[in-house]
Each structure stands twice: as structure tokens, then as C-alpha cells.
Amino acid sequence: MELLESKEKILLEELCCGSTEEMLSVSASDSVVLGVCMNAGCDYTTDVEPDCDGGHCEVCGTSTVKSPLVIFGLI
């Protein structure tokens, strides 16, 4: 849980500082958001649908990419 919490903190910081505008513009134009691999130590990110829960990580080879909206329970 500690690893997950630290990753959530990083995601929150990214969402709050800097990438919010980018995220909003991307969401508005293409209906995709920046998904993040939830595996510890993996920084893989990719465009996913806002409700993505279990997208494919090309680094880990696992279905661990989640939309931040899913991670934070916003949808």
C-alpha cells in the first residue's frame, strides 16, 4: 500500500501542477487521458480511455495501466 500511496501522490502532483491543462485539452479533443502503470517501480504511461482499468503496459507486459480517473475514483 505504501508504494501505491506514493504513486498516487506523484500522480496527484502531476495532475495538479502543469499537466492539468494538457490533460483537459486532451480529454476534450480525443476522450483519452494519461494512463499510468500501477506496478511498483514502473513509470510507463500511455494514452487511455478515461474509464480504463487494466490497460496493457508495454514495459511489464501486464494489464496494469489505469486511468487516473479510475485510480482516484472520479468515475
Q: In this complex, which beta carbon is closest to Zn ion, that of residue 44 or of residue 47?
A: 44
Which set of grid coordinates corresponds to residue 4? 501505491
Encoded one letter per residue, x for contact with Zn ion by CB under 5 A and - for no contact, window 52-71 reads -----x-xx-----------
Using the rule CB under 5 A, give the single segment among 6-14, 18-26, 42-50, 66-74 that binds Zn ion: 42-50
Residue 29 C-beta: closest distance to Zn ion, Å: 26
